[in-house]
Amino acid sequence: MTPTATRLPMLLLVAGLVAAALRVPRVPEPRFLVPPAVMPGERPDPKPIYRLIDLPQPTPSAHASCVLPLHQGDLLVAWFGGAREGARDVAIHMARLRDGLVEETWVALTRERLQELVHRVIRKLGNPVLWLDTAGRLHLQVVSVSYGGWSGSAVNHLVSEDGGHTWSTGRRLVLSPFFNLSTLVRTPPLVMEDGTIGFPCYHEFVDKWGLWVRITAEGRVLEQARMQRYEGGRLQPAVAALDPTHAVALLRSGSRHQRRIQRNATDDGGATWPQKRSLPIANPDAAVAMIRLEDGSLLLAANPLEAGRNILQLFHSLDAGQSWTPLRIVSRSDEPGAEFSYPYLAQDGLGTIHLTYTHLRKGIRLCSFNLEWLYLENPPPRPLIDPAPSGGGP
């Protein structure tokens, strides 16, 4: 056989591979869906609103709540409750609220039911996160443990057609090559322009770091991006988008030596998170919450202490999370063992901000307010600084 005849099949193979690659549709670069800004005072009758509600306490212990505004103006709140954190009787509880009143509460998910849905052994349940897809279906990301402690966790994705009373489908997300262990969720997801969902996750086996995961509404994992790691470990990132390509993440300190909130940033829709620095806000190894408000500024809820969780305070940023102004203290106690922790923030379509948090490890408290109340004693300068960076990274 001549050399030309030998090379011909190889050339045809290469040509075929190139042609096939050209026919594969290119995946569009991820872009955050960021609504246009609505400034304070633009809504009719802008009066300060403040409301505080203690949700029913069906169990001795309650922790790790989340709140989801619904299209009808109602609220859904979910948390895990049982004899104590990590107990075998822990279940996901939910409450639906309307006009500031609790309409109903129920046990939304038990470990036995999750075991049936994902066909895996489930020893205990952890953090729940609720969200709606573009079709209005309710989704739940929930942490579970099959063996060991929280470092052996996995994330499960469930879908409900009846507002969280039952779950028709369930699947475990494959997010880690190490037996798919040690990935957890805690903070709200972000909707992308293409309808996919961006989820802040975190890893805490041996070391701790933030993880950005993009999934479809069916729970198929599209991509993952590890956030810059810190000495001592950082976890539970809360992410807020500034514009279609820029977003910032604030992370809980997992270190005994650097008790400060950490800031990461992306300028490519979450594909990479190369920027990191420490903020001058203390953090006692406790969860933080952050959202972009409808006026374009950022709101943070945190325990600004190096030890203890007995103060929960709001902070405000006009410069993409570079600097933060202390605002109102939501809850505080002089008792060092008191706990007001694991805040979760959301803003509804009418502009009302909803904050849920663990109250003394016995129940879940809901605090609802608007920008007028938030700015009543600390009005920001007008006009608001555009949080989107003009150049470089956020």
Q: What 3-state class would DSSP assign to 137?
A: coil
Q: Is residue 4 part of a domain?
A: no
Instruction: Please check the confidence at residue 391 and state whether its pLDDT lies above 50.
Output: no
Q: What CA–CA distance (Å, rounded) separates 56 from 54?
A: 7
pTM of the model: 0.89
Q: Is residue 21 part of a domain?
A: no
Total of domains in the chain: 1
SS (H, E, C) 285-354: CCCCEEEECCCCCEEEEECCCCCCECEEEEEEECCCCCCCEEEEEEEECCCCCCEEEEEEEEECCCCCEE
Q: What 3-state class would DSSP assign to 96?
A: strand
User: Tell me: the pLDDT tens digits for 69-121?
Assistant: 998 889 999 999 999 999 999 999 999 999 999 999 999 999 999 999 999 99
Range of the domain at 166: 41-374
Q: Which of 165, 157, 161 is nearest to 189 (CA)?
A: 157
Instruction: Please check the confidence at residue 389 and state whether its pLDDT lies above 50.
Output: no
User: How many other C-beta atoms can be found within 10 angstroms of the C-beta atom of residue 349?
Assistant: 11
User: How many other C-beta atoms can be found within 10 angstroms of the C-beta atom of residue 344?
Assistant: 30
Q: Is residue 236 part of a domain?
A: yes
Q: Is residue 393 part of a domain?
A: no
Q: What CA–CA distance (Å, rounded) separates 128 from 66?
A: 7
Give the CATH number, domain containing residue 83: 2.120.10.10
Q: What 3-state class would DSSP assign to 373?
A: helix
pLDDT bucket at 3, cuts 50 / 70 / 90? low
User: What is the average pLDDT score of the chain?
Assistant: 87
Q: Is residue 394 part of a domain?
A: no
Task: Report which secondary-structure segment, H or E, holds 3.
Answer: helix 3-23
Q: Which of 285, 236, 237 is nearest to 258 (CA)?
A: 285
Q: Is residue 254 part of a domain?
A: yes
* CB-count burial class (<10 Å; 0-12, 13-18, 19+) for 383: exposed
| Token pair for 92 | 């996901």
Alpha helix locations (H) across 130-178?
none
Q: Is residue 140 part of a domain?
A: yes
Beta strand segments in 208-246, E: 209-215, 221-226, 234-241
Please state the rounded mean pLDDT for residues 246-271: 92
Please state the rounded mean pLDDT for residues 168-172: 87
Q: Is residue 210 part of a domain?
A: yes
pLDDT bucket at 2, cuts 50 / 70 / 90? low
Looking at residue 331, its amino acid is: S
Q: Which of 285-289, 301-305, 385-389 is predicted with the least confidence, judged by mean pLDDT?
A: 385-389
Q: Which of 34-48, 188-202, 218-232, 260-274 is predicted with the least confidence, judged by mean pLDDT?
A: 34-48
